[in-house]
Amino acid sequence: MKKLLPILLGVIVVVGVFLLALPTIVHKAGLHPEYHGMKVNLPGKRALVITTSHAVLAEPGESEGPATGVWGSELTHPYYTFTDGAMAVDVASIKGGEIPIDPQSFFFVTKSPEDERYLNDPVAQAKVKNSIPIADVDISQYDIVFMAGGWGAAYDLAQSPVLAEKVAESYYGDRSAIIGGVCHGVLGLVNARDRDGNLLIAGRRMTGVSDKQIKELGIEMTPLHPETELRKAGALYESQGAFRDILATHVAVDDEKRFVTGQNQNSGLETAHRMMQVFAERE
């Protein structure tokens, strides 16, 4: 027993060191990459972050399953990019009220610095707890409209006719807003229509979470998948691959420079910054 004790202690130390290093290892592998590109400020401008209201990961029609919602970083990354860029930021959701946040997104391995900032930010937390119902949003007041993803978004963003109308209204509004989203959030774009009744995103370069990533994660029961739905809507889908697509990232800007979309949970920072850059370039 005395001989086993040092071995056991050694194993515990090795496991402990590995667990402490794991977030850094995963980050270096590609999860939540840092943004080192150009940053701009847009004082006096307004941004809206829209999220899901759906909180259960289950087969369509079923009501019991693991907790889900918006993926933390897909909310916190754009929120702090916009606020740090001197923008006023509001938060809305399909139903309004408290937004469900996928508990796995704040796990110590996947939690980003922006997530940690949110967990210590009572102002941001109050906005998430009291989000504006999408039906009550005056979309004409926003210069940037960003749709966050997460598994919950597969259940209610594309299914909301009100959101589709708001996207079209924002596109044609006097502010000519920059519209976009990340991961499953891009599903909020697929049913918006132009003034002739055609799908608004047809023929535009776009990205969203790949079918490959969804298959790799084994979560295929959700009702809609972004790559599939973007292609159905006529968008020119593009993405980057990796050994596992959860470690990939990509941002697409359409030729008209009105839509900016990000591939997955790694793409929120760059997507938000690119939206601000595109807006600034035309001012």
The alpha carbon dihedral of 231, 233, 234, 236 has a sign of negative
Residue-wise pLDDT for 183-241, tens only, equals: 999 999 999 999 999 999 999 999 999 999 999 999 999 999 999 999 999 999 999 99
What φ, ψ does residue 231 adopt, rounded to 5°? -65, -40
What φ, ψ does residue 238 adopt, rounded to 5°? -145, 155
Residue-wise pLDDT for 120-137, tens only, equals: 999 999 999 999 999 999
Q: Name the band, by pLDDT with cuts 50, 70 and 90, for residue 27.
A: confident
Exposure class string for 18-57: b at 16+ Cβ within 10 A, else e: eeeeebeeebeebbbeebeeeeeebeebbbbbbbbbbbbb
Average pLDDT over every residue of 80-109: 97
Quick one: pLDDT at residue 267? 98
Residue with tokens 């926003």: 142
Q: Over 60: is that where the pLDDT of 9 sits?
A: no
Query: Does the reported pTM lie above 0.95?
Result: no
Provide the CATH number for the domain formed by 43-282 in this structure: 3.40.50.880
Q: Over 50: is that where the pLDDT of 19 sits?
A: no
* Cα separation, 48 vs 65, whole angstroms: 30
